[in-house]
Amino acid sequence: MFDVNLDLVKKYDRPGPRYTSYPTAPQFNESFTPDMYMDEMIKTNNAVNPPDLSLYFHIPFCDTLCFFCGCNMLISRNRDRIIKYTNYVKKEIDLLRSFIKSDRQVAQLHWGGGTPTHLKPDEIRDLSSYIQNLFPFKSDSENGCEIDPRELTRDHLVALKEAGFNRISMGVQDFNEKVQKAVNRIQPESITVQAVDWVRELGFNSINLDLMYGLPFQTLSEFEKTVDKIIGISPDRIALFNYAHVPWMKKHMTLIKPEDLPAPEIKLEILKMSVAKLTEAGYTFIGMDHFAKPEDDLSIALNEKRLYRNFQGYSTNAGADLYAMGITSISQFGDVYTQNWKTEKEYYEALDSNIVPISKGYQMTEDDKLRKYVITKVMCDFELDFADVENKFSINFDKYFAWGLSNLPELIDDGLISLENRKLKVHEMGRLLIRNVAMNFDGFIERKEDTAKYSRTV
């Protein structure tokens, strides 16, 4: 059982990046052009033995607004609007496909949102068959989709299974009815259980359930009941997210009254209880906010040092080129990151002009590549060999990272990490606070160039 030290959590609870990329999304800029995107795309596809592909499709539509939601979503029940959108996604597929080598295989597929299952089953079949007909998939590809049990039918899952999806993820947040009403997500336990039963009956490989602490009216005793029920449902993976109240970024969060949020000390007690119960129930603590059964691919990847982070969180597919399609979606391949337009109008106009629909991006420098490697090692392997970095990048680690190393004694004294023979090792509490560890190797933070407002690290 993992016993969370709340004094350390309080000490290190500060704003910081989640490092689903390095550099992080606030560094993306409008000076990055579609031509730069195409140049990198052509270069990476002409490389000898280019990596496998990871495809992400953003389906932004939802039936109702969840007040806590931090995703890029659109509330709409207009089927014509939704069909128009998926037709433009196909146009983006066609545009990109013409530049991607035909023999490059897909190792990972993910549909996120929004709510991908806001599409009707036949719409799922139509879009997925379009993708399958244009891209060759590896036999063991990891194909995941986010679902919402509130408007789900069994045929939605049948359509996903027919399309080759083998992993399902869905939000629960909290089973307490008062909490659900406060965040406008009424989701009875019975429909969550029904969705899980269908997923298992249809033979999907894995199911993930999301929980969220820090929501209005949550109490320690009531959230403990939710955690107990989740353990009883026994999903393969569990994500335990901290609600980030950022109304300056997400206007709809103003619908949540700050006075209804649990006090900071209650919130931390909920975190401590949840981590203890999940690990006592046999789940492996992966890091940050992820838990998985010991036999799950995520736990195996942790043990074998094969974890990776991308814009969907922890993953087992390191090194794949990520092509993301749909509004707001973020791609990463070669030395660039790009983000698509955020509005349908701009996205459609670009595709109508046969232009990749990006609004901004980032071209990595040599310093970025080095720091990305270091931060990825810290975030995913939970250890770092200074000599390995020196050999790979021909630097003097102690000089290059002098600022970050000067901050480590405090982390060592607090038991988050240890440092021996120029090898850094992250301990269990350090994995919970891994963002705080990684920040010490962030060049933008070191140079005081990062002025973005981030969620708190716990």
Please report the pLDDT score of residue 116 as a whole number.
97
164: left (phi over 0), alpha (psi -120 to 50) or beta: left
What percent of the chain is modeled with pLDDT above 70? 100
Q: What is the mean pLDDT of residues 4-33?
A: 92
Distance CA 237, CA 300 (A): 13
Token output for 343: 């509005």
Please report the pLDDT score of residue 55 as a whole number.
97
Please report the pLDDT score of residue 288 as a whole number.
87
Beta bridge partners of 167: 144, 206
Please report the pLDDT score of residue 78 as a whole number.
96
Please report the pLDDT score of residue 458 as a whole number.
75
The residues, ordered by sequence, that sit 6+ positions from 54 with a Cβ below 8 Å of its Cβ are 106, 107, 108, 109, 110, 310, 317, 320, 321, 322, 323
Please report the pLDDT score of residue 259 as a whole number.
96
> Residue 129: pLDDT band by 50, 70, 90 thresholds?
very high
Domain ranges of the chain: 1-16+365-448, 17-323
Distance CA 209, CA 236 (A): 8
Pairing verdict, β 330-333 and 336-340 = antiparallel
CATH architecture of 1-16+365-448: Orthogonal Bundle (1.10)
Averaged pLDDT of the chain: 95
Q: What is the mean pLDDT of residues 81-99?
A: 97
Distance CA 304, CA 76 (A): 43
> Residue 314: pLDDT band by 50, 70, 90 thresholds?
confident
Please report the pLDDT score of residue 319 as a whole number.
83
Q: What is the fold of 17-323?
A: TIM Barrel (3.20.20)
The angle subtended at Cα 390 by Cα 388 and Cα 391, nearest 5°, is 65
Q: What is the mean pLDDT of residues 8-13?
A: 92
Please report the pLDDT score of residue 453 as a whole number.
75
